[in-house]
Amino acid sequence: MKTRDKYEKIAELAKRRGFFWPSYEIYGGVGGLIDFGHLGATLKHKIEAKWRDEFVRQQGLIEIETPVVGIGKVFEASGHAKHFTDKMVECQKCKRKWRVDHVIQEQTRIKGVEGLSLEELDKIIAEKNIRCPECKGKLGKTQHFNLMFKTSIGPYADSIDYGRPEAAQSMFTNFKRLYEMAREKLPFGVAQIGRCLRNEISPRQGPIRLREFTIMEFEFFFDPEEPHCPKLKEVEKEVLAILPASEKMKKVEKTMDLTVGEALSRGFIKAEWQAYFMAVSKQFVTSLGIPSEKQRFDEKLPWEKAHYSAQTYDHEVYCERWGWIEVAGHAYRTDYDLKTHMEKSRVDMQIFKAGRRFIPHVVEPSFGAERLVYATLEYAYTKKDDRIILKFPIDIVPIQLAVFPLVSKDGLQEKAMEVYTMLMGEGFTVEYDEAGSIGKRYARADEAGVPIAITIDYTTLKDGTVTLRDRDSWMQVRNKIDNLPEILHKYFKGKLKFKQIGA
Q: DSSP states of 437-478 as a string?
A: -HHHHHHHHHHTT-SEEEEE-HHHHHHSEEEEEETTT--EEE
H or E, element range at 490 = helix 484-492
Helices (H) and strands (E) in the chain, counts: 17, 26
What pLDDT is stored for residue 185 in this prediction?
96
How high is the pLDDT of residue 267? 96
pLDDT confidence bin for 253, thresholds 50/70/90? confident
CA distance 493 to 490: 5
Measured distance CA(40)–CA(416) in Å, rounded: 26
Radius of gyration of the chain (CA): 26
* More confident: 330 or 154: 330
- Give the model's pLDDT for residue 205: 84
Q: What is the pLDDT of residue 105?
A: 86
Q: Is the model's pLDDT at 50 over the cut of 80?
A: yes
* Statement: residue 241 has pLDDT above 60: yes
- At residue 202, the pLDDT reads 85
What does the pLDDT average to over 364-384? 97
- What band does 203 get if pLDDT is binned at 50, 70 and 90? confident
Task: Please count the CA atoms within 13 angstroms of the CA of 46 that sit on its side-chain side.
Answer: 20
pLDDT of residue 422: 98
pLDDT of residue 1: 57
pLDDT at position 392: 98
| Average pLDDT score over residue span 6-34 | 95
Average pLDDT, the chain: 95
Ordered structural domains, the chain, with CATH: 6-84+147-378 (3.30.930.10), 85-145 (3.30.40.230), 399-500 (3.40.50.800)
How high is the pLDDT of residue 113?
Answer: 83
pLDDT at 159 over 90: no
Alpha-carbon distance of 181 to 176, in angstroms, equals 9
Looking from the CA of 382 toward its CB, the CA atoms found within 13 Å total 14
Whether cis (ω within 30° of 0) applies to the bond prior to 187 is yes
- Compute CA distances 357 → 176, 188, 353, whole Å: 14, 18, 6
Beta bridge partners of 193: 216
pLDDT at 157 over 80: no
Q: Which of 402, 401, 430, 389 is nearest to 289 (CA)?
A: 389
Encode pLDDT of 61-114 as tens digits: 999 999 999 999 999 999 998 888 889 999 999 999 999 988 998 898 887 787
pLDDT band at 2 (very low <50, low <70, confident <90, very high): low
pLDDT tens digits for range 307-317:
899 999 999 99
For residues 419 and 382, is the Cβ–Cβ distance under 8 A?
Answer: no
Average pLDDT of the residues in 206-221: 96
Q: How confident is the model at residue 485, as a pLDDT?
A: 97
The b-or-e profile of 324-347 (16+ CB within 10 A means b, else e) is: ebbbbbbbbbbbbbbebbbeeeee
Name the DSSP class of 384: E
Residue with the bigger pLDDT between 302 and 285: it is 285
